Structure 1
Amino acid sequence: MPLVNMREMLHHAYGNGYAVGAFDLVNLDFLEGILDAAERCASPVILSLAESHFEYFDFELLLSAVEKAARNASVPVAIHLDHGESLQSAMNAINHGCNGVMVDASHRSLDDNIRTTRSVVEMAHGCGVPVEGELGYVPGVEGEDAERHPGKVSYTTTDQAIHFVETTGIDFLAVSIGTVHGRMRGEAKLDFQRLRDINQALGLPLVIHGGTGLSEDQYRQLITNGVVKINYYTALADAAGAAIRKNVEATENNAFTQLTRGVKAAVSEEAERCIRLWGSAGRATEVLTQCTPWLPVEHLIVYNVNGLDDEGVTEMMAKGRDVLSKIPGVREVATGSAVKTDAAYRYTWLVQFCHPAVIDSYRDHADHVAFADQLFRPVAGERISIDYAWIE
């Protein structure tokens, strides 16, 4: 049950003056280490998967483990797509278990950024999923030296932020005030007055990317001025790398399990340090009581057919599984037939939606309407349909 509505989670943080860590993970050691830290601290947490890391793991495979771990956790958890590259990326993430998404178009022109982000918002909100947009450009690459990817910092302005939020409908705004992705030398020079002005103008939960390497005082000032989600990866990766190097130096045993011993603990220790510093420790119970559980809806249809033989029914079902599974918010499409020959209804559809909002968006989606009107309803006159929510 502790997989919860991310919009409500971050609004709780915004109203109570703390930030939730959005920790990017790349394998099970990171997943377990981050969740262990959150549970030790009794803290809400965001498990984040960045599209720039997809070359290192199978996204859908790892995401299934992330969702399972989140539902088994004792603390409130959200699952977020970080730096998605397209509308299709966001839809794929939602359909496979993310309940928060970010598609990063900040490197494009303002008009292109608005168009891309708005299209994601329209799709995701139809699935009940909140959207993070980014305005301004934060240079660097997650987990790598920022100096290798300097780019050019483009700071967020208050006027553009107001226009961006109003025209896109985003739920959270990632701002550029001087941080960088990856490692940097020296202390970042952050424009807190700029952040303060943006926060006062928007009254909206704000996000910082490039959270590694800031001082304790800088973190506190970020949170004081509306930042409630801090993206964090590079320091976790460095802690994991240090644990591996220590093992290499300590043993001649090159077995994988020996070399990766202690990685989970190192990741967990760094995540715990951040959680306590950012003020979310001890907040789990109140967040759980004030946030809606993120539970799917099952759309069930039982029916009989007229005018189709078994082969025709099989073809119709196969077409439906292909078409309907591509609709935003559809987690799974299953079809079946009755085991007993004397059953009142012979066939069934079971379509899982990620959120109750999908009941309406699915019903009205052009692909569903076309399939239902052209292939299904003409032959399935006798049917019963029901939508039901999970109970945990």
Structure 2
Amino acid sequence: MPLVNTREMFQKAYDGGYAIGAFNVNNMEIIQGITEAAKELNAPLILQVSAGARKYASHTYLMKLVEAALIETDLPIALHLDHGDSFELCKSCIDGGFSSVMIDGSHYDYEENVALTRKVVEYAHERNVTVEGELGRLAGIEDAVNVSAEDASYTNPAQVQDFVERTGVDSLAIAIGTSHGAYKFKPGQKPQLRFDILEEVSKRLPGFPIVLHGASSVIPEFVEKINKFGGAMPDAIGIPEEMLRQAAKMAVCKINIDSDLRLAMTASIREHFAEHPDHFDPRQYLKPARAAIKDMVAHKINTVLGCAGKA
């Protein structure tokens, strides 16, 4: 099966009250773990690549790894650029075979965001590639994204209809209280999503797919392992999974997951070396790391996303 864009899978997700997992990928083991879980659960899938991952692994290697995943799974898979920050980057990914891109103009003022997003949409739609835009700014640090709490802002529901109509985007990332990275909240601060904003956005954009970034739950099991085997992450707090499931039952059709992948892999590798300090063959520690990613993704599909059996 060839790569698909997100248009049809989002329509099915919206109608069915579930979300598609958008998992960030950097190497072979991460892609294998994600796609093996999705195949076993017959779940649709978005593999997404940040600008940093593209520089790290190279566009060609990542494309070939995703091509292998298509052959191995025969699943509907979209390959998506995460947080594209320029027309040139989006164009390069579109020309290079991506089936979906995000143009993040949220760091510009509103009119500049509209103009940049529209430019990407026009280029992408001529090539049957879907586009995700963003309104509002999430706090946090993850890969090339670095927004302070002072610079973060919730999405203004009054702007969403105008933005979608003028840009022609296929989906919209909004800010309702999620945050990039593992350190989303201050110690003692209670995580809370602004479902009132999400509900208002969905009223203004009936049937339109909404995206949540920064939606890793920072699973305590992995944080505990990292801390046990030499780490120092006592303040890592994520988004409660029941909140994410509620969002998936509403207008949210795509939930981004990156930090939980990193934590699962790192926790497994640190545990392996603590138990087997003499090992030096990468296959010895990357095999259980891949299995940890697979188990975590299966958990997300079943518990948070609700997309098992929807491929």
- TM-score, scaled to structure 1: 0.69
Q: Residue type of the partner of 2:216?
A: T
Alpha-carbon offset, residue 151 of structure 1: 4.9
Distance 1:215 1:100, change over 3 A: same
Name the structure 2 match of 1:157.
156
Structure 2 counterpart SS, 1:47:
strand
1:335-350, aligned counterparts within 5 Å? none
Name the structure 2 match of 1:222.
247
Structure 2 counterpart SS, 1:4:
coil
1:246 aligns with 2:250: no
Q: C-alpha separation between the residues in 1 aligned to 2:275 and 2:145?
A: 27
Alpha-carbon offset, residue 72 of structure 1: 3.9
Name the structure 2 match of 1:69.
69
Q: Residue type of the partner of 1:225?
A: M
Q: Is 1:121–1:169's contact at 8 Å kept on the other side of the alignment? A: yes
1:207-356, aligned counterparts within 5 Å? 207-213=211-217, 214-251=239-276, 252-277=278-303, 278-284=305-311
Which structure's residues are more often strand, by fraction? 1
Q: Is 1:33–1:267's contact at 8 Å kept on the other side of the alignment? A: yes
Q: C-alpha separation between the residues in 2 aligned to 1:71 and 1:86?
A: 31
1:137-216, aligned counterparts within 5 Å? 137-142=137-142, 149-183=148-182, 184-185=184-185, 187-203=190-206, 204-213=208-217, 214-216=239-241
Q: Give the unaligned 5+ runs of structure 1.
A: 285-392
Q: Residue type of the partner of 1:233?
A: D
Alpha-carbon offset, residue 150 of structure 1: 3.8
Structure 2 counterpart SS, 1:80:
strand
Q: C-alpha separation between the residues in 2 aligned to 1:117 and 1:220?
A: 29
Alpha-carbon offset, residue 187 of structure 1: 4.2
Alpha-carbon offset, residue 112 of structure 1: 1.2
Structure 2 counterpart SS, 1:260:
helix
Q: Which has the larger radius of gyration?
A: 1
Q: Residue type of the partner of 2:290?
A: K
Alpha-carbon offset, residue 29 of structure 1: 0.5
Q: Is 1:67–1:79's contact at 8 Å kept on the other side of the alignment? A: no
Q: Residue type of the partner of 2:115?
A: R
- TM-score, scaled to structure 2: 0.86
Structure 2 counterpart SS, 1:39:
helix
How many residues are paired up? 283
Q: C-alpha separation between the residues in 2 aligned to 1:27 and 1:180?
A: 24
Q: Residue type of the partner of 1:110?
A: Y
1:101-116, aligned counterparts within 5 Å? 101-116=101-116
Q: C-alpha separation between the residues in 1 aligned to 2:281 and 2:148?
A: 34
Alpha-carbon offset, residue 125 of structure 1: 0.5
Q: Is 1:143–1:233's contact at 8 Å kept on the other side of the alignment? A: no
Aligned-residue Cα RMSD (Å) equals 2.0
Q: C-alpha separation between the residues in 1 aligned to 2:284 and 2:34?
A: 21
1:34-49, aligned counterparts within 5 Å? 34-49=34-49
Alpha-carbon offset, residue 264 of structure 1: 0.9
Distance 1:144 1:241, change over 3 A: farther
Q: Give the unaligned 5+ runs of structure 2.
A: 218-238
